[in-house]
């Protein structure tokens, strides 16, 4: 598009047509003398509509027009203008009446004896929107950071605090200004410093990624709190030195509850053992007075030992669900020899505490019978215990082989009754005992929903 209303304006045509910004030429009287294609796009007025019009009426919001006219008059009178040669941000006006932010630079020039003003204007609406969105995002982040229910701290490579949120100050009792002069090692319990320092230094050296740790802080009032920390390092941020981020949650109440639970469980275990010892002592007195054979006394003590082993296993797991492999191991350990004549295995499954006790007693009875009459009573005999899990059922098979030929007993003993009645009842299981001549086979099929947590 050419600009030939005034012959001398032809000299400005290359500037107007090639400029990336909107370019407006104004005479001393405020009349538009030049208007490039980008000005048409930015302000919505065509060149033909703009030429010869008062510039202020076209692109300056009404509330700023008086200041525009006064500034122009002052420049013409004194030769000094507050906007000339500067980059300023002002509000512009589109033909639709919409106001929007623009960046403006004005220069003046004399052409053919006439003073002209060239205004270079850039629509910065997108930039302003991005800046506003960034400010809002930062404000939301700051609000989340400061009002989070967890403590958040940022540190340098030495563990010195760079920044910490309000919750961290609440947790430790130290204000932001105090923390600026401290490292997190300074407020860590002496017994926990070494482990955390090693992990932190490995992480900072790039030998370790994020890690979690539970440790103690010594508060400003000398009180002790337990915290769970998720630690990470932020690297490769343009223009920002790497820094560590440590998000921490106060777990003091949980740790105290766990310690209380541990003490209670230890007391429970102690009392159970005392009770079993009392039962054992009473049985000795009772059996001796009743003329019971030493073999029966030994059998009873074996069952009592199996019950104690089950309780010890439950104690190890703080009365939480127990892996079936551990229950089988504990039940059969007294019958193992150097040659490992009992083998077992299967998919790992958790057993509820009551199921652990019942299964331990059942396996003890099977092993006791095998040691007296079955595969474990002869040197060549072995026992295989294997279990499978299929949908909602656990199937455990006890299989003996290599022992003396097996015959079905004429009378039902305590072990058989335990398996066929107590196990079936407690585990909601079906129990079958096959007195195969090659070796006893016992199959226990239990509902997982009954025996698992």
| 380 CB-contact burial (10 Å; exposed 0-12 / middle 13-18 / buried 19+) | exposed
pLDDT value of position 10 = 64
Which is higher by pLDDT, 213 or 143?
213
Q: Where are the alpha helices (DSSP H) in 317-404?
A: 324-332, 353-372
SS3 assignment, position 450? helix
pLDDT value of position 2 = 39
pLDDT band at 404 (very low <50, low <70, confident <90, very high): confident
Dihedrals phi, psi of 334, to nearest 5 degrees:
-65, -15
Which is higher by pLDDT, 96 or 84?
96
CA–CA distance, 399 with 37 (Å, rounded to integer): 94
Nearest CA among 368, 371, 398 for reference residue 386: 398
Nearest CA among 14, 15, 9 for reference residue 32: 9
Written as one string, the DSSP assignment of 22-52 is EEEEEETTSBEEEE-HHHHHHH---HHHHTT
CA torsion sign for 367, 373, 378, 380 is negative
Helix, strand, coil percentages, rounded to 5, for the chain: 45, 30, 25
Written as one string, the DSSP assignment of 193-235 is HHHHHHHHHHHHTTS---EEEEEEEE-TTS-EEEEEEEEEEE-
SS3 assignment, position 101? strand
End-to-end CA distance of the chain: 82
Q: Does domain 145-250 have CATH number 3.90.1150.10?
A: no
What is the CATH topology of the domain spanning 7-128?
A: Beta-Lactamase (3.30.450)
Dihedrals phi, psi of 105, to nearest 5 degrees:
-135, 130
Nearest CA among 46, 28, 26 for reference residue 36: 46
Please, what is the average pLDDT of the chain?
Answer: 84
Count of CB atoms situated within 10 Å of the CB of 337 = 9
Residue 24, beta-bridge partner list: 35, 119
Q: What is the DSSP letter of 405?
A: P
Residue 361: partners with Cβ closer than 8 Å, 6 or more residues away: 303, 306, 307, 310, 331, 418, 422
Which is higher by pLDDT, 447 or 261?
447
Count of CB atoms situated within 10 Å of the CB of 329 = 16
pLDDT value of position 286 = 66
The answer to whether residue 403 scores a pLDDT higher than 60 is yes
Which is higher by pLDDT, 333 or 185?
185
Nearest CA among 257, 333, 323, 264 for reference residue 302: 333
Lowest mean pLDDT of 23-27, 378-382, 420-424, name the range: 420-424
Q: What is the DSSP letter of 238?
A: T
pLDDT value of position 431 = 87
Lowest mean pLDDT of 46-55, 124-133, 136-145, name the range: 136-145
CA–CA distance, 431 with 421 (Å, rounded to integer): 9
Strand 382-390 with 342-345, pairing: parallel
Lowest mean pLDDT of 154-168, 212-226, 384-398, 423-437, name the range: 423-437
Supply 140's token pair.
């939301």
Q: Give the length of the chain.
A: 453
pLDDT value of position 451 = 84
Which is higher by pLDDT, 453 or 200?
200
pLDDT value of position 298 = 67
Q: Where in the chain is the domain with CATH 3.30.565.10?
A: 255-451
| Mean pLDDT for the stretch of residues 45-55 | 93
Q: Where in the chain is the domain with CATH 3.30.450.20?
A: 7-128, 145-250
The pLDDT tens digits of the residues spanning 291-324 come to 666 666 666 666 666 677 767 777 776 677 889 9
Judge contact between 179 and 163, C-beta under 8 A.
no
pLDDT band at 17 (very low <50, low <70, confident <90, very high): confident
What is the CATH topology of the domain spanning 255-451?
A: Heat Shock Protein 90 (3.30.565)
The answer to whether residue 82 scores a pLDDT higher than 70 is yes
């Amino acid at each position: 598009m050419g600009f030939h209303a005034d012959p001398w304006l032809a000299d400005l045509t290359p500037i107007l047509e090639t400029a990336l910004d909107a370019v407006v030429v104004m005479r001393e009287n405020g009349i538009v003398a030049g208007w490039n294609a980008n000005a048409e796009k930015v302000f919505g007025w065509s060149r033909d509509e703009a030429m010869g019009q008062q510039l202020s009426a076209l692109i300056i919001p009404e509330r700023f027009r008086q200041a525009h006219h006064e500034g122009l008059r002052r420049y013409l009178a004194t030769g000094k203008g507050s906007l000339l040669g500067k980059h300023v941000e002002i509000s512009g006006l589109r033909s639709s009446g919409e106001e929007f932010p623009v960046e403006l630079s004005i220069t003046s020039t004399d052409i053919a004896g006439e003073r002209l003003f060239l205004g270079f204007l850039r629509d910065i609406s997108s930039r302003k929107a991005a800046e506003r969105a960034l400010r809002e995002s930062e404000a939301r982040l700051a609000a989340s950071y400061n009002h989070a229910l967890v403590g958040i701290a940022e540190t340098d490579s030495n563990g010195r605090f760079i920044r910490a949120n309000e919750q961290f100050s609440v947790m430790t009792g130290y204000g932001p200004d105090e923390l600026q002069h401290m490292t997190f090692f300074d407020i860590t319990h002496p017994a926990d410093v070494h482990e955390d320092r090693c992990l932190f230094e490995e992480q900072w050296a790039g030998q370790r990624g994020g890690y979690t740790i539970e440790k103690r802080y010594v508060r400003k009032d000398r009180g002790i709190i337990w915290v769970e920390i998720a630690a990470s390092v932020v690297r490769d941020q343009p223009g920002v030195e790497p820094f560590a981020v440590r998000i921490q949650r106060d777990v003091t109440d949980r740790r105290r509850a766990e310690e209380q639970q541990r003490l209670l469980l230890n007391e429970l275990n102690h009392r159970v053992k005392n009770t079993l010892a009392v039962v054992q002592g009473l049985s000795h007195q009772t059996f001796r007075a009743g003329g019971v054979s030493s073999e029966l006394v030994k059998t009873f003590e074996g069952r009592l030992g199996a019950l104690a082993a089950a309780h010890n296993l439950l104690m190890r797991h703080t009365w939480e669900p127990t892996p079936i492999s551990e229950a089988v191991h504990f039940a059969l350990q007294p019958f193992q020899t150097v040659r490992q004549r009992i083998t077992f295995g299967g998919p790992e499954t958790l057993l509820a505490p009551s199921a652990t006790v019942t299964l331990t007693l059942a396996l003890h009875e099977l092993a006791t019978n095998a040691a007296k009459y079955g595969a474990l009573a002869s040197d060549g005999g072995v026992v295989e215990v294997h279990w499978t899990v299929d949908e909602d059922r656990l199937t455990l098979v006890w299989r003996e082989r290599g022992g003396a030929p097996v015959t079905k007993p004429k009378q039902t003993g305590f072990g058989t009754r335990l398996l066929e009645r107590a196990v079936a009842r407690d585990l909601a299981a079906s129990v079958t005992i096959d007195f195969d001549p090659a070796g006893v086979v016992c199959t226990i099929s239990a509902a997982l929903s009954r025996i698992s947590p």
